[in-house]
Amino acid sequence: MDTAEVVALLALAQQLPAAWQSRLLGRVGAARIKLARMDRTAAPEEVHDYAEALIVMEGELRLRIAGTTLCLRAGELCLVPAGTAHAVGEGSAGTLLILDT
């Protein structure tokens, strides 16, 4: 990126072709910045070899992690350590910003 760029995250999320297909917005250092739309459907459990920051921009994320279900709302963040199994529960809806490496 050679120039500053303003991205309307919530409007862009509405244009994504399908839920849970994240769109890479860019990078800051080694970190990838991705945007995803949640549509009340669950997403299967996954484990990554990198940490993730999950930021709820709008709506609610029901995150199953370490045997517990967390309910994150707009403006809240969950840091998921590398190697930690996590899944998105049914009913999650809104816009999710994901940072990972």
CATH number at residue 80: 2.60.120.10
Structural domain contains residue 89: yes
Residue 48 domain boundaries? 9-100
The tally of domains found in the chain comes to: 1
Q: What is the pLDDT of residues 23-66, one digit of tens each?
A: 999 999 999 999 999 999 999 999 999 999 999 999 999 999 98
Confidence of residue 1 (pLDDT cuts 50, 70, 90): low
- Residue 37 corresponds to which tokens in the numbers above? 């739309």
**Overall average pLDDT of the 2-22 stretch:** 87
Handedness of CA 66, 72, 95, 100 (dihedral sign): negative
pLDDT of residue 41: 93
Structural domain contains residue 27: yes
Structural domain contains residue 83: yes
Structural domain contains residue 40: yes
Structural domain contains residue 70: yes
Strands 43-46 and 86-88: antiparallel
Structural domain contains residue 37: yes
**Cα 18 from Cα 36, distance rounded (Å):** 9
